[in-house]
Amino acid sequence: MNVHAKPIALSLDALESRVGQEIGVSEWHQLDQAMVDRFGEVTKDWQFIHVDPVRAKAESPYGGTIAQGFLTLSLLSVMGFEALPRIVGQKIGLNYGFDKVRFLSPVPVGSRVRGRFVLTEVTPRSPTEILLRTRVTVEIAGQSKPALVAEWLNLALLD
């Protein structure tokens, strides 16, 4: 992934015409044990089902370690950058929060995940602020049930 590449830019009218449609799919992201361990260190989430592969294999119902739900959720930042279009004239995009987040399936360490985004609402708040609502589903490669679904709000600040 080229993290310096700019996502495509659409006019506000073009973006509004896409309400109800899928507007992007991110690249796949591998969740390995080192990433899960680093996230556990930063968030102080050392629950054995995340950071102790031997114990997790022996004692958890998942047969091994699983990624923290908040780690999977936090990957929406990079997934959104990869998949979501910008608005022509947008200077910055801000995470405005979530109206709903549900963790539906554990993500086994070693899995690949990606985000699939459907634009559900475009609300101009001022001539320079546009509130975007997307329904995002984080898929797990090879599994039919997603890791999570969320209603994500982002604020686009325009020139």
Residue 98: give its domain's CATH number.
3.10.129.10
pLDDT in tens, 16-61: 999 999 999 999 999 999 999 999 999 999 999 999 999 999 999 9
Number of domains in the chain: 1
Q: What does the pLDDT read at residue 7?
A: 66
Does residue 2 lie in a domain region? no
Structure confidence at residue 57 (pLDDT): 98
Distance of CA 78 to the CA centre of its chain: 7
- DSSP 3-state helix, strand, coil percentages of the chain (rounded to 5)? 25, 40, 35
**Beta bridge pairs of residue 101:** 150
Segment (H or E) for 61:
none
Answer whether residue 109 shows pLDDT above 50: yes
CA distances from 141 to 10, 104, 123, 155 (A): 29, 14, 33, 30
The parent domain of residue 135 ranges over 9-31+72-158
**pLDDT-wise least confident of 3-12, 102-111, 131-140:** 3-12
